[in-house]
Structures are given as structure tokens and as C-alpha cells.
């Protein structure tokens, strides 16, 4: 299939529009708590060495990067599309770059661990985005993907910045199609001001 210049220009214009819809992601208690607990399990369980190359996709203002640095992981890189988040992370001394999760500017096999909490739902084409996650991972590398469940009391699917809020089976299928093996899953349920909410975590390796 050939794509004309005009078709490509429309796609670029659409992606630029989405970039302008991003917002700063200040740390919250529930996200910081889950981040700390998951990293406490994930890093030793997957034998992630302190010199491992780690990419935090959609790093926000750096809660995972803060934890990783405290644990002695000094080679972690973060990416985000929001200028304010980039500025705050860089002020904290983190290596954070402005970059789209679907167009990663890294060579194949650049990372041993990809950390992707609450970012893939912001992709308009998650199948393609997950192939990028797989591409930049080393064979056997680790992916932690976490997403909000649909149709909870918080109705994440109605968030204007959420484009892909799918059921569990859809995420499992997409991960497998993109070359990931799921070794474990987690479910986080908690009460918010709007009622019961739920997140799903997928512990994966690149096959």
C-alpha cells in the first residue's frame, strides 16, 4: 500500500494535535505506592542488574525514576511528551527526553527493562506502539505494562486523553502478537472519591 504525502501530512498533523493535549503528571499517592511495590518485586525477580539499561516510558515527573535512583539504578532514562514534566525531571537530575512512545528514537535492543505504567492507553495505535516497545528491548528483556481497567467507577475510557482503554483479553492478545510472553499478572483494586477503581499489570518478557 502506498501512502501519499497528503495522507502522511494528515497523520503528522493528528499526532501533533494529540501532543498538544498532554498535561503535567504530578505524582499521586496511589501511583507512587503501586510503583514502589511493583519495583520491589520486579527488579529482583527478573534479576535486573544495577547497570541494566532501563527506559521509563511516560515517566511523568519521575516517581519511578526516583525509586530506581534510590535503589542504585543510575542508567535509567525517561521519556514524556509534556514539556513541564521534562523540565521537572531534568531539574531533579534525571535523564529525561521529550519523545513519543510510538516513535522511539533508540536503536534496536537498547534496553533490558521497559517500564510502561499508564501510558499505552494514551496511544491511538497501541498495536504499533507495543511493537516499538518490543523493538528497543533486548531478547529476553522485561516489560512491565500497567493499564486502567475499563468501565470502573472512574470511567477511564471517558478521559479525553485516553484513546485505548481495552479489556484484559484485548491487552493480552496485543502483547502476544507483539512478541511478548506474559509471565505474571497483577490486579490493583482500590476506592477513590468516585468509587471502586482497578488497574491491571502485566509482567512480560520479549521472546
CATH of residue 178 = 3.40.50.150
Unique residue bearing C-alpha cell 503501586: 34
Provide the domain limits for residue 58: 5-206
Over the stretch 151-197, which tens digit does the pLDDT of each residue have?
999 999 999 999 999 999 999 999 999 999 999 999 999 999 999 99
Does residue 130 surpass a pLDDT of 70? Answer: yes
76 close to 16: Cβ distance less than 8 angstroms: no
Q: Say what the pTM is.
A: 0.95
- Report the 3 state secondary structure along 166-207: CCHHHHHHHHHHCCEEEEEEEEEEEEECCEEEEEEEEEEEEC
97 pLDDT band, cuts 50/70/90, is very high
Over the stretch 23-76, which tens digit does the pLDDT of each residue have?
898 889 999 999 999 999 999 999 999 999 999 999 999 999 999 999 999 999
**How many domains, in total, are found in the chain?**
1
Q: In what side-by-side order are the strands of the sheet with 76-80?
A: 95-98, 76-80, 54-57, 111-117, 137-148, 195-206, 180-192
Over the stretch 100-115, which tens digit does the pLDDT of each residue have?
999 999 999 999 999 9
Amino acid at each position: 500500500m502506498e501512502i501519499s504525502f497528503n495522507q502522511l501530512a494528515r497523520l503528522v498533523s493528528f499526532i501533533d494535535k494529540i501532543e498538544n493535549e498532554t498535561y503535567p503528571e504530578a505524582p499521586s499517592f496511589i501511583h507512587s505506592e503501586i510503583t514502589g511495590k511493583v519495583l520491589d518485586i520486579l527488579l529482583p525477580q527478573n534479576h535486573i542488574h544495577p547497570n541494566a539499561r532501563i527506559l521509563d516510558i511516560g515517566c511523568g515527573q519521575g516517581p519511578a525514576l526516583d525509586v530506581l535512583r534510590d535503589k542504585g539504578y543510575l542508567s535509567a532514562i525517561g521519556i514524556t511528551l509534556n514539556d513541564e514534566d521534562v523540565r521537572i525531571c531534568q531539574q531533579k537530575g534525571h535523564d529525561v527526553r521529550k519523545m513519543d512512545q510510538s516513535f522511539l528514537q533508540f536503536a534496536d535492543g537498547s534496553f533490558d527493562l521497559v517500564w510502561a505504567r499508564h501510558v499505552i492507553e494514551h496511544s491511538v495505535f497501541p498495536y504499533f506502539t507495543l511493537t516499538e516497545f518490543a523493538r528497543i528491548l533486548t531478547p529476553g528483556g522485561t516489560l512491565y505494562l500497567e493499564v486502567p481497567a475499563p468501565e470502573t467507577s472512574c470511567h477511564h475510557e471517558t478521559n479525553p486523553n485516553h484513546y485505548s482503554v481495552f479489556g484484559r483479553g484485548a491487552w493480552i492478545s496485543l502483547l502476544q502478537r507483539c512478541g511478548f510472553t506474559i509471565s505474571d499478572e497483577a490486579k490493583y483494586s482500590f476506592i477513590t472519591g468516585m468509587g471502586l477503581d482497578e488497574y491491571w499489570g502485566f509482567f512480560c518478557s520479549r521472546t
